[in-house]
Structure 1
Amino acid sequence: MRMGEKPSLSCCVCGHRRKILAPEDGLEEEPMSQSPTQALLGCDEKQKERCVVGLRDAWWFAHSLPERIGSATSVSSTVINNRLQELVRLFKERTEKVKEKLTDPDITSDEESPTASPAKPALPTAPVPPQGEQPEGEKVAEEEHYCEMLCCTFKYRPWLDRLRNYQFPSSIDPLTNLMYVLWLFFVVMAWNWNCWLIPVRWAFPYQTPANIHCWLFIDYLCDLIYLLDILVFQTRLQFVQGGDIISDKKAMKENYLRSQRFKMDLVCLLPLDFFYFRVGVNPLLRFPRCLKYMAFFEFNNRLEAILTKAYIYRVIRTTAYLLYSLHVNSCLYYWASAYEGLGSTTWVYDGEGNSYIRCYYWAVKTLITIGGLPDPKTLFEIVFQLLNYFTGVFAFSVMIGQMRDVVGAATAGQTYYRSCMDSTIKYMNFYKIPKTVQNRVKTWYEYTWHSQGMLDESELLVQLPDKMRLDIAIDVNYSIVSKVALFQGCDRQMIFDMLKRLRSVVYLPNDYVCKKGEIGREMYIIQAGHVQVLGGPDGKTVLVTLKPGSVFGEISLLAAGGGNRRTANVIAHGFANLFILDKKDLNEILVHYPESQKLLKKKAKKMLKSNNKPKDVKGVPGDSLIIPPKPDTPKLFQAALAAAGRTGGKGPLRLYLHADLIVALPSVELCRLPGVKREVKEQLIGSTPWPGKYPGRC
């Protein structure tokens, strides 16, 4: 009997063979002319032996069928049991994962991808007006800009509308309000008009009946500015009382009325002009207008507070002091010459040329004590000249000293920079440091000074309170540090404390920021410049270039057990300014924030695992599948099905083996057959375990 054939009975009488078919085959039995017993008796010994073998095979096939069915059932139950246990295990793992996420929402898994938020319904679009029509709102807006005057229509400018609708503030902050600084500028201009022009009009004959109306117009315009300053601005200035900022109208008015400023302002506006009707227009009657000096000093303080280079204004102001003293001296010299008589002596002004220029020239030579002046002749001239010399020496020395202080304060930083650089060069020369190192040190000093204007930023903020230093640090660094994945979800106050510990360091081109294998104790934030990460076999291949705002080395702050070693070389591509956070400073901060410390440790572990595990070639991020989809049908099994279909067989598939060629067979039948390789069986059956060989023969 060939392997794979069904047992059959051979009849020696009629020569017919009858196959033993299963009931489900659905094939009709072939008719037999004789019974099996008669056929067996009518056969010879050889044929009888063949018939007995066939009957034995048929008996084995019939009696082993229940056993084979039970074996297949046991195999299937084992597979189902194992699969159910696997499903229970996967469900438990997923439950633990969800529970961990619910208890600590800040911990995110690398394998999870955020779910897409539901799409918002589109807003209803406004109906499009027909052509030739404009929206109703635009029509009203355009009509508001037009006004009719007589027979014409004019269009208002938008800034005119804003000017018409402007409301004056009920209270003014004198420290921060720029509008108040602008108003003080006009007040100071009016004060300067009085201070500079009153002596000129009193001493020199520049005020005549022909131009008196111009002088009076500007005088009363300055008086109007003084009056508005008293009634409108000074009564609205906020003030501090008991640590509170008072902005009540009545309280602000009472505070101004009780101040020394109000008394001086009243003296400035004394109505001495009524004496014009008695003594004529005498400019000396307007001398009280020069007493509004408080506005001048207040303007200086407010202007210096908003200027970036206040020392320039200080130099100009000091120069103006010197010019004003010369201006007053020239006016006094012309008055003394007129008192003695113009050209009466060689000492007085002779009346030739421009009187103001000639007198100003004499005042410069006198106050600066240049010499070369004619000697005074009369007692009045001698006393006047002595007072001039004493005043000139005192005023000029004060001006020079003040100018030196202004210039010295403006160049104090540069002086400190030069002193540090000279001391460093002297130190390097003493210890015979190589020239290459000295040149790099000099380059660092020069670049740091020219880029920052100082050598150490922390020294500048030492005198400020912690709150102000924190505000400055937040404005400079918070936008960068808040984007670091390691610190997201941490306590906000912890990040604020961390910002105050950042140090600014400048790296020169090709300087190593960190080297591979060294112990990492700092985190770096790039403020300016670029750094390159090197790798490859030779360690010189540029893997990535980090730009301003990038952060690296953050895992080293919390890594332990050898995980805080640098994994690559990082060098500065050009001049780079980096902020550095030291590990020691971070540990001192985390002592006060235990919850943030736990969170940072968990995140550091996850980031280390993600860096160490190999990257998957394929895969879609998402939750792990508990019930994976069915694998595709093996190509060999599909070929077997196609071959079986071409044979035209009916009923369930059977197995025919010819030199290990598999045509078709259910998995339970295939696993029992010898001569079939295990790899082929696994390809056909999948992961179904093999029960082993069954006794019997095919």
Structure 2
Amino acid sequence: MKNVYYEHGCRVTEMAETRRNYLSSTNFILDVFSIIPTDLFLFVQYDASLLRLNRLFKCYRLFENFDLAQGRLKQVFISLMKIIVSCTLIFHWNACAFYIISSFSDTTSWDEVNATFDDDDGWPWPYMPDKITDVHFADCSHFEQTCDYQQVYFDEEREAHLVDLWHYWENRTIKVGFSTFTKAYVLSMYWSAMTMTTLGEQPSPNETMQSVFEILDTVLGMVLFAGIMGSVGDLVAKANKVKADWQQRMDGLKQFMTYRNLHAEFQRRVLKYCEYEMAKQEKMTEEEMRDTLPPKLYTQVNKYVQWSILKSSPLFDSCEVPFLKDLAIYLEPRDYGPGDVVCARGELNKEMLIVSSGYLRVVDPNDLPLRTFREGDVVEDRSLVWFPNNRYRNRRKYDVISVGYSQVYILFRDDLLHVLRDYPLCRETIRVKAEYMQSAAGDLVEENCSMDCEMYEGSTLEERLIAMRGVINVLENNVNENYEKFKKNSSSFKSRLAALERFCRDMLIQ
């Protein structure tokens, strides 16, 4: 009654709810029938063991275990285990039925003389202990020539010399005996497997009950065998699903390239890429995962995965976790083939790269390799912050090319500035770190950057308004100061002009 269940996707663990759900389910009825103490009837009649068949009502638990393992194991492994366990269980039940029918069959008319190792007609249909012998191992040495017997010349006449062979090997072997139960179970299981897989090669039944059971077994065996073959076929098809899909795509691409008369070099590159993807056996791409999961869940999963990637960057290793999780949404995966230029020399530093798989190589203008970036390395993270005193005017110094097939996560500078508007402390930390990293790399002309280098693009609207208000206040103060100076100068000019007019008038009067 403590079985946890899911209701509308929510895990229910309350005792009252789990008890109510269990008591109203079919499993409760099956469990009640399975625990009925039918064993007590054995005190009345000791050979009525079939009354214990009610225990089989618990077999539904087997399929529940498979359902619980769906999210923990691979589907191929679960399907394989379903086939093996189901076949073994059915073979076991059928072997038990065969042994029960054998126990009620008459074997007194069996002619032991007519039974041979290669002829099943002389053996009776039911189980008999004489059908399976104990194991004998040779207890003699070939070096001492105590095991030499010219039995190789018997060929098809070996059965005529069985008595001679028995007397010869009787004192030269070690007998490994098995219990009666082991012999009965092994032989019954062998008969069940051979019959239900429609292989046959068993003695013919000689009673009506045996014939009916053989017919039912054969029919059920054909159905079971068809089910097994279908399950195995589905298993193989699922295992090769990715390869088959890419084979179909390659066929379509070949027809398209032939129709368009593409150059042989382009065709080779396209087919090489298809072979690479087929070898990866990638069952789900980033886009398919985004389309499969709900948007909120995909965002959370993407944040968790990409956050650890961003944490490896020296530029962001000291930033707060919420900032990294918000920034992780903007990481975009890109695939590049052999020789593709990821970043070209002279381009503006608009993005940083994180190598997810493959190799990236930095080459100089003479195509000489300078450095190789491997999985987990960060490329040009310090260049996301622009400074006016940058020696290269915030442009790429070298080309970055893909050595083989590489997957790269790209973070654009505009996205970084957009997120930084909500994290002013991180903005200042990143600016200081980027300045230090670029100075250490020799990218800055001066060691200290002026206040104009501050990342104004990453500021919030409020901060921009405050900055504009400060600029306006400065302009107003300058205007007021100039106006006061203008008034003062105007007054002085008027006084001087008035004095000049009086002087000129006095001169004219004289």
- The normalised TM-score by structure 1 is 0.45
State the AA in 2 paired with 1:531. L
Once the 2 structures are TM-superposed, how far is the Cα of residue 292 of structure 1 from its aligned partner?
Answer: 1.3
1:301 aligns with 2:67: yes
1:263 aligns with 2:29: yes
Aligned ranges 1:79-228 → 2 under 5 Å? none
- Counterparts of 1:383 and 1:583 in 2: how far apart (Å)? 80
Aligned ranges 1:277-288 → 2 under 5 Å? 277-280=43-46, 282-288=48-54
Counterpart of 2:343 in structure 1 is: 514
Pair 1:410–1:564, CA change in 2 (3 A)? farther
Which of the numbers 102, 106, 118 marks the counterpart of 1:341? 106
**Radius of gyration: which is bigger?**
1
State the AA in 2 paired with 1:502. L
Give yes or no for contact 1:558–1:601 (8 Å, CA) kept in 2.
Answer: no
Once the 2 structures are TM-superposed, how far is the Cα of residue 288 of structure 1 from its aligned partner?
Answer: 1.8
Pair 1:601–1:539, CA change in 2 (3 A)? farther
State the AA in 2 paired with 1:318. I
Give yes or no for contact 2:34–2:54 (8 Å, CA) kept in 1.
Answer: yes
Once the 2 structures are TM-superposed, how far is the Cα of residue 551 of structure 1 from its aligned partner?
Answer: 3.5
Which of the numbers 359, 363, 366 marks the counterpart of 1:539? 366
- Counterparts of 1:249 and 1:350 in 2: how far apart (Å)? 51
- Counterparts of 2:188 and 2:251 in 1: how far apart (Å)? 50
Report the structure, 1 or 2, having the larger helix content: 2
- Counterparts of 2:206 and 2:52 in 1: how far apart (Å)? 34
Deviation digits for residues 524-564 of structure 1 (CA, Å, limit 9, x no counterpart)? 221234423223xx4324444444444446689898xx978
Which structure's relative contact order is higher, taking Cα pairs within 8 Å and 6+ residues apart? Answer: 1
Q: Percent identity, aligned pairs only?
A: 24
Counterpart of 2:179 in structure 1 is: none
- Counterparts of 1:253 and 1:350 in 2: how far apart (Å)? 47
Once the 2 structures are TM-superposed, how far is the Cα of residue 472 of structure 1 from its aligned partner?
Answer: 2.6
1:578 aligns with 2:408: yes
Counterpart of 1:275 in structure 2 is: 41
Aligned ranges 1:287-436 → 2 under 5 Å? 287-307=53-73, 309-342=74-107, 344=109, 348-349=125-126, 351=128, 352-354=130-132, 355-370=184-199, 376=205, 378-436=207-265
Give yes or no for contact 1:502–1:579 (8 Å, CA) kept in 2.
Answer: yes
Q: In structure 2, the residue corresponding to 1:527 is in which secondary structure?
A: strand
Deviation digits for residues 189-227 of structure 1 (CA, Å, limit 9, x no counterpart)? xxxxxxxxxxxxxxxxxxxxxxxxxxxxxxxxxxxxxxx
- Counterparts of 1:564 and 1:342 in 2: how far apart (Å)? 98
1:467 aligns with 2:296: yes
Deviation digits for residues 212-250 of structure 1 (CA, Å, limit 9, x no counterpart)? xxxxxxxxxxxxxxxxxxxxxx43x44456776544445
Deviation digits for residues 389-412 of structure 1 (CA, Å, limit 9, x no counterpart)? 322222222222223223323332
Q: In structure 2, the residue corresponding to 1:300 is in which secondary structure?
A: helix
- Counterparts of 1:357 and 1:603 in 2: how far apart (Å)? 74
Aligned ranges 1:54-73 → 2 under 5 Å? none
Pair 1:605–1:369, CA change in 2 (3 A)? same
Once the 2 structures are TM-superposed, how far is the Cα of residue 264 of structure 1 from its aligned partner?
Answer: 2.5
Once the 2 structures are TM-superposed, how far is the Cα of residue 474 of structure 1 from its aligned partner?
Answer: 2.5
Give yes or no for contact 2:309–2:376 (8 Å, CA) kept in 1.
Answer: yes
Give yes or no for contact 1:514–1:569 (8 Å, CA) kept in 2.
Answer: yes
Once the 2 structures are TM-superposed, how far is the Cα of residue 279 of structure 1 from its aligned partner?
Answer: 0.7
- The normalised TM-score by structure 2 is 0.59
Q: In structure 2, the residue corresponding to 1:475 is in which secondary structure?
A: helix
Deviation digits for residues 242-301 of structure 1 (CA, Å, limit 9, x no counterpart)? 776544445544554444433332322211222221111643232222211232222222
Unpaired runs of at least 5, structure 1: 1-233, 625-698
- Counterparts of 2:99 and 2:312 in 1: how far apart (Å)? 73
Q: In structure 1, the residue corresponding to 2:71 is in which secondary structure?
A: helix
Give yes or no for contact 1:256–1:262 (8 Å, CA) kept in 2.
Answer: yes
Counterpart of 2:355 in structure 1 is: 526
Equivalenced residue count is 382
State the AA in 2 paired with 1:348. W
- Counterparts of 1:511 and 1:278 in 2: how far apart (Å)? 85
Q: In structure 1, the residue corresponding to 2:408 is in which secondary structure?
A: strand
Give yes or no for contact 1:322–1:396 (8 Å, CA) kept in 2.
Answer: no
Q: In structure 2, the residue corresponding to 1:270 is in which secondary structure?
A: coil
Give yes or no for contact 2:99–2:127 (8 Å, CA) kept in 1.
Answer: no
Give yes or no for contact 1:469–1:500 (8 Å, CA) kept in 2.
Answer: no
